[in-house]
Structure 1
Amino acid sequence: MTDLDDNICKKYIKMITNIVILSLIISISLAFWIMSMTASTYYGNLQPISPWRWLFSVVVPVLIVSNGFKKKSLDHSGALGGLVVGFILTIANFSFFTSLLMFFLSSSKLTKWKGEIKKRLDSEYKEGGQRNWIQVFCNGAVPTELALLYMIENGPGEIPIDFSKQYTASWMCLSLLAALACSAGDTWASEVGPVLSKSPPRLITTWEKVPVGTNGGVTMVGLASSLLGGTFVGITYFLTQLVFVNDLDISAPQWPIIAFGGLAGLLGSVIDSYLGATMQFTGLDESTGMVVNSPANEVSTNCKAAVTSRQPVCRSLRGGAPLAANSTLERGPRSPTHVQARSPRPSPRGRPRPRRSRDPKCDVGGRRRH
Structure 2
Amino acid sequence: MESENNLLMKESIKMMTDMIVLCATLALSIFFWVLSLTISTYYGTLQPVSPWRWLFSILVPLVLTIRGLKRRSLDRSGALGALLVGFVLTMANYSFFSALLAFFFSCSKLTRWGGEQKKKIDVEYKEGGQRNWVQVFCNGGVPTELALLYMIEVGPGEIPIDFSKQYSASWMCLSLVGALACCSGDTWASEVGPVLSQSQPRLITTWREVPVGTNGGVTPIGLVASFLGGLIVGVAYFITQVLLVSDLHLADPQWPIVVYAGVAGLVGSMLDSFLGAHMQYSGFDSSVGKVVSYESATTRRICGKPILDNNAVNLFSSVLIALILPGLAWGLWPR
Q: TM-score, normalised by structure 2?
A: 0.88
Matched, 1:46 2:10: no
1:107-186 equivalences in 2 (<5 Å): 107-186=107-186
User: For residue 176 of structure 1, what is the amino acid of its counterpart?
Assistant: L
Distance in 1, Cα, partners of 2:291 & 2:49: 50
1:347-362 equivalences in 2 (<5 Å): none
User: For residue 48 of structure 1, what is the amino acid of its counterpart?
Assistant: P
CA shift for structure 1 position 304: 5.0
* Residue 251 (structure 1) aligns with: 251
Distance in 1, Cα, partners of 2:279 & 2:91: 37
The runs of 4+ residues in structure 1 deviating greater than 6 Å are none
**What's the CA shift string for 1:288-313, capped at 9, x where partnerless?**
211112235643338559xxxxxxxx
Partner SS for 1:301: strand
**What's the CA shift string for 1:114-170, capped at 9, x where partnerless?**
111111011111001111111100110000000000000000000000001111000
* Residue 211 (structure 1) aligns with: 211
* Residue 316 (structure 1) aligns with: none
User: For residue 148 of structure 1, what is the amino acid of its counterpart?
Assistant: L
> Which of structures 1 and 2 has the bigger CA Rg?
1
Distance in 2, Cα, partners of 1:304 & 1:158: 43
User: For residue 105 of structure 2, what is the amino acid of its counterpart?
Assistant: L
Distance in 2, Cα, partners of 1:27 & 1:154: 26
Share of identical aligned residues, percent?
A: 62
CA shift for structure 1 position 287: 2.0
Partner SS for 2:284: strand
Partner SS for 1:206: coil
CA shift for structure 1 position 4: 3.1
* Residue 32 (structure 2) aligns with: 32
Q: TM-score, normalised by structure 1?
A: 0.80
1:18-97 equivalences in 2 (<5 Å): 18-97=18-97
* Residue 279 (structure 2) aligns with: 279
The answer on whether the counterparts of 2:277 and 2:303 sit within 8 Å (CA) in structure 1 is no
1:296-335 equivalences in 2 (<5 Å): 296=296, 298-301=298-301, 304=304
The answer on whether the counterparts of 2:284 and 2:302 sit within 8 Å (CA) in structure 1 is no
Unaligned runs of 5+ in 1: 306-370
Distance in 1, Cα, partners of 2:216 & 2:301: 15
Matched, 1:194 2:226: no
Distance in 2, Cα, partners of 1:246 & 1:231: 24
User: For residue 169 of structure 1, what is the amino acid of its counterpart?
Assistant: A
- Count of paired positions: 305
Distance in 1, Cα, partners of 2:75 & 2:69: 6
User: For residue 101 of structure 2, what is the amino acid of its counterpart?
Assistant: L
**What's the CA shift string for 1:313-357, capped at 9, x where partnerless?**
xxxxxxxxxxxxxxxxxxxxxxxxxxxxxxxxxxxxxxxxxxxxx
Unaligned runs of 5+ in 2: 306-335
Distance in 2, Cα, partners of 1:221 & 1:15: 45
When the two chains are superposed, the root-mean-square deviation of aligned CA atoms in Å is 1.5
Distance in 2, Cα, partners of 1:57 & 1:244: 16
